Amino acid sequence: MDRNSRNNLTSFLLNLVALLLVAHLFHGIIITNIFSLILAVLVIGFINTFVGPILLVLTLPINILTIGLFTFIVNGMLFALAAFVVPGFAITDFSTAVFGSVVYSIFSIILNALFNK
């Protein structure tokens, strides 16, 4: 296995751990089984890679007006979209989606910085 593949696999596994931690911290984020957890991480990665940048460009005027704070709302919407698409992954309300996406990002950054070298 080459280095790039190993880094991608490690990053995926660390994002699994991050989402699991977020689900334990927030009672409004529900993951029913391991398949839902794996699929949720894949869908979140796909949405953040392909849908997120397009949505951020479309919301650029409001982002400028709010000095970038609207980005948290966009990230919450993307997190909620992932929960809508993945069976067995649910978010009870929008505020949980916003705060959960922020904490997920923080955990993901920290875990990847510590373990994915």
Residue 35 and residue 98: Cα distance in Å, rounded? 23
pTM above 0.85, yes or no: yes
pLDDT in tens, 3-21: 889 999 999 999 999 999 9
> Could you tell me how many residues make up the chain?
117
Total tally of structural domains belonging to the chain: 1
In angstroms, the Cα distances linking 28 to 4, 16, 31 are 35, 18, 10
pLDDT in tens, 37-58: 999 999 999 999 999 999 999 9
Cβ count within 10 A of residue 21: 15
In angstroms, the Cα distances linking 69 to 76, 77, 106 are 12, 13, 16
Whole-number percent of the chain with pLDDT over 70: 99
Please answer whether residues 19 and 40 qualify as being in contact, where contact means their C-beta atoms are separated by less than 8 angstroms. Answer: yes
pLDDT band at 82 (very low <50, low <70, confident <90, very high): very high
Which residue segment(s) compose the domain that 91 sits in?
3-115
Task: Give the 3-state secondary structure of residue 1.
Answer: coil
Phi-psi region of 67 (alpha: psi -120 to 50; beta: other; left: phi over 0): left
Terminal-residue alpha carbon distance, the chain: 15
